[in-house]
Amino acid sequence: MKDLPTLIGERLTQNLWGVLGNQGYILGIDLGSYGLRVALVDLQHHTYHNAAIELVEYEDPDATVKRVVELARGLMAHTGATIDRLVRVGVGFSGPVDLRYGTVRLAPRRPGWENYPLQERFEQAFDTVTLIDNDANLIALGEATFGIGKGCQHLFYFHLSTGVGGGAVLNGRLYHGAHSMAGEIGHAVVGHGWDGDGRPETLEELVSIGGVLRRAAAGGLTTDRLEDIFSDHPVARRVVQYTVDLMATRIAQVIALLDPEMVVLGGIVVRIGGDRFVEAIASKVNNFIAPQFTRPVPVVASILGPDSVAIGAVAMALDSLSD
């Protein structure tokens, strides 16, 4: 497989983003999905550079923004990019955002970020038009633009990590829905409790890191390591099979609803599960599609790696150039 700079450079040479798509620089910023990460793209020379630092848990939002702005400015200085030639900034956050007001809507795993004026802070820092979105949406767009789904006009992405999210690319653009909440498939109800009683459970409660670890513990395998879930332990095998069946069912429903060309899986659960996990889900998905809709739908692992959110933020910024 080609390396990221080559993949991104080749796509940039196609100049699909209008007259501004061949000059200046674009910054893509990830605020915490995979640490604090920055991607810098030179639109004229079709080059890609990146930088990263660790996320500090429970850090004040302003302190986090200050550190990532300093990281971005350092990368720009290193590559000779200047702020006056910065045409867009894209920012990804690990939670729902409000696109109307440029703020964080919810931050269940990031205390203190609720209602934070994300867009305003970065526009102040760089004096440049800034766009924001959540991490799963941006990974979806990044994979459709530069990654495994390059060239797909219709793609759905599932993110399995501490939470479960998703993103839909339809007609080549991110689909946000009426309230910017489209793709939040982790909150969809999928059952009525492990014992068939009690309040309904969501997909996130069952296939996130915590979900699979809890299911393993209920079966007698107590561990805090995902690697143990994908071992040959009999309880682990049952947990993985349950997860495969549940994910395949939900993906088949997404296919029936949205008719995507491809479904992409990512997040730490997928990375630890590896090819065997993804292939098991893919095989089940095509078995679960009703006969009248039967056609092979690729279900594949994401390829953009730790920079996926920052690269997706670049893709979002590029899209805005053609609006």
CB crowding 294-303: b at 16 or more within 10 Å, else e: eeebbbbbbb
pLDDT number for residue 158: 97
CA–CA distance, 200 with 25 (Å, rounded to integer): 47
H-state helical runs in the chain: 4-12, 61-79, 118-126, 135-145, 203-207, 209-218, 226-229, 234-258, 268-288, 308-321
Per-residue pLDDT tens digits of the chain, which is 323 residues long: 678 889 898 888 887 777 666 789 999 999 987 889 999 999 999 999 999 999 888 899 999 999 999 999 999 999 999 999 999 999 999 989 999 999 999 887 788 899 999 999 999 999 999 999 999 999 999 999 999 999 899 999 999 999 999 999 999 999 999 888 899 999 898 876 655 556 788 999 999 999 999 999 999 999 999 999 999 999 999 999 999 999 999 999 999 899 999 999 999 999 999 999 999 999 999 888 866 666 789 999 999 999 999 999 999 999 998 87
Tell whether domain 155-302 is in CATH 3.30.1490.190: no
pLDDT number for residue 4: 87
Ordered by start, the domain boundaries in the chain are 4-145+306-321, 155-302
Q: β-strand 262-266 against 299-301: which pairing, if any? A: parallel
pLDDT number for residue 193: 60
The whole-model pTM stands at 0.94
Q: Which residue shows structure tokens 């990031």?
A: 110
CA–CA distance, 318 with 144 (Å, rounded to integer): 13
Q: If we measure between CA atoms, which residue out of 305, 307, 230, 300 comes closest to residue 265? A: 300
Radius of gyration of the chain (CA): 20
Q: Same CATH topology for 4-145+306-321 and 155-302?
A: yes
pLDDT number for residue 19: 67
The class of domain 4-145+306-321 in CATH terms is: alpha beta
- Within 13 A of 167's CA, how many CA atoms are on the CB side? 31
pLDDT number for residue 288: 86
Q: β-strand 130-134 against 35-42: which pairing, if any? A: unpaired
Q: If we measure between CA atoms, which residue out of 298, 294, 261 comes closest to residue 278? A: 298
Q: If we measure between CA atoms, which residue out of 192, 194, 191, 155 comes closest to residue 173? A: 155
Q: Which residues contact residue 316 at a Cβ distance below 8 angstroms, ignoring those fewer than 6 apart? A: 28, 90, 131, 133, 138, 141, 174
